[in-house]
Amino acid sequence: MLLQMSSMRDAYADALLELGSKDTRVVVLGADTSVSIKTSLFSDRYPERFFNVGIAESNMIGIAAGLALAGKIPFVSTYSAFVPGKCLDQIRNAVAYPNLDVKIVSSHGGLTVGPDGASHQTVEDVAAIRAIPHMRVVVPADASATSALVSESWRTPGPFYIRLSRATVPEIYSSPADLEIGRAEVLREGSDVAIIACGVMVNEAVEAAESLSKEGIFAEVIDSHTLKPLDSDTILKAAKKTGGIVTAEEQSIIGGLGSAVAETVSESYPVPVSRVGLHDTFGESGEHKELMMKYGLTPLEIMKASRKLVASR
């Protein structure tokens, strides 16, 4: 299989340019990282609608709230380590509580900043945002998904947290991807186990399912790009069909996708859920791929978890 690699940052920057031309209400805010995450392209094209606030994330969220209150649709972007990390209170009180049309799109989520180390990696951002009422949480799997879901967020009133990866990732979807907020995508049908993933782990899930099929284990693969609101219908359907779920995410298993899936099935249709992700630990310096290996974010770990689930029945 020839893998087409693509960049979520590029896709985000392109999506912003398109939204910017369609809708003059779209404004973009940056915090001294706009060249790195490529929102500077928007700034080049629409300088009057781009606001660089310097290294001041709390102020950036507050300004975005004011812009939204005056009728704008602000897209706010910097590294995932700092938004929400440095401004959770502003997100909670100035954006989520009043349910404002602010789209927070953070880049460099998870372990993808690699050598920069734990201070710049994020394991808890999704869990923190997920617990805040009104917030929608989206973790796209590739560039096409990023374009589609960023556009969907623009179409959907209310606050969003969209978490992108720095890494170039294999294309999962053909472009343009037909994705909807809150609708999980069944990428592969299966009967023995359901692998539910988000973000960069979707590709690892697809690879794991491919290898498992050679062992006679037929895994369903679901891209649950929207962690909130979670597509509980699709997840419960998969639970009923397969009788066991493996979740995979590039973040702490506490409060993320694995938690959300476990909460859903345990209330409505209890089946065993095995969570692949970071086990209550920070990351460290190292190449992204090395870190993924060391912390068990690999097709191999997904396969191990799947075999164990199948064997326990």
Please tell me the count of residues contacting other proteins according to CB under 8 A: 30
Q: What angle do CA 194, 112, 223 make, to 5 degrees?
A: 20
Give the separation between CA 28 and CA 22, rounded to whole angstroms.
14
Alpha helices in 166-231 (DSSP H): 201-214
Q: 192-224 burial by CB neighbour count: b if 16+ within 10 A, else e? A: bbbbbbbbbbbbbbbbbbeebeeeebbbbbbbb
Give the C-alpha separation, 56 to 215, whole Å. Answer: 52
Cα distance between residue 247 and residue 305, in whole Å? 9
Q: Stretches 46-54, 131-139, 240-248, 270-278: which one binds other proteins (CB under 8 A)? A: 46-54
- Of 22, 98, 157, 191, the one binding other proteins by CB under 8 A: 98
* 217 in contact with other proteins (CB under 8 A): no
- Of 171, 206, 169, 211, the closest CA to residue 189 belongs to 206
- Applying CB under 8 A, which of residues 14, 97, 134, 180 lies at the interface with other proteins? 97
The structure tokens listed for 209 are 């399912």
Cα of first residue to Cα of last residue in the chain, in angstroms, is 33
SS3 state of residue 33: coil
Exposure class string for 64-86: b at 16+ Cβ within 10 A, else e: bbebbeeebbbbbbbbbbbbbbb
**Could you say which of 48, 214, 216, 312 contacts other proteins (CB under 8 A)?**
48
| Residue (91 or 217) nearer to other proteins, CB | 91
Using the minimum distance from each CB to other proteins, give the nearer residue, 3 or 70. 70
Q: Which two tokens stand for residue 126?
A: 């999704």
The region of 5-13, 33-41, 45-53, 227-235 touching other proteins under the rule CB under 8 A is: 45-53
Catalytic residue, chosen from 18, 48, 57, 207, is 57
**63 vs 175: CA distance, rounded Å:** 34
250: annotated active-site residue: no
- Interaction mask 52-91, other proteins, x per CB under 8 A: -xx-x-xxxxxxxxxxxxxxx-x--------------xx-
Q: Which is nearer to other proteins, 27 or 177 (CB)?
A: 27
Residue of 15, 94, 245, 257 that binds other proteins (CB under 8 A): 94
Whose Cβ is closer to other proteins: residue 54's or residue 115's? 54
Does 246 participate in binding other proteins (rule CB under 8 A)? no
How far apart, in whole angstroms, are the C-alpha atoms of residue 44 and residue 54?
17
Q: Does 49 bind other proteins (CB under 8 A)?
A: yes
Using the contact rule CB under 8 A, the part of the chain among 47-55, 155-163, 172-180, 272-280 near other proteins is 47-55
Among 8, 11, 26, 27, binds other proteins (CB under 8 A): 27
The nearest distance, CB 140 to other proteins, in angstroms, is: 27
Q: Residue 129 or residue 194: which is nearer to other proteins going by CB?
A: 129
Binding site for other proteins (CB under 8 A): 27, 48-49, 51, 53-54, 56, 58-72, 74, 89-90, 92-94, 97-98
Which residues are designated catalytic? Answer: 57
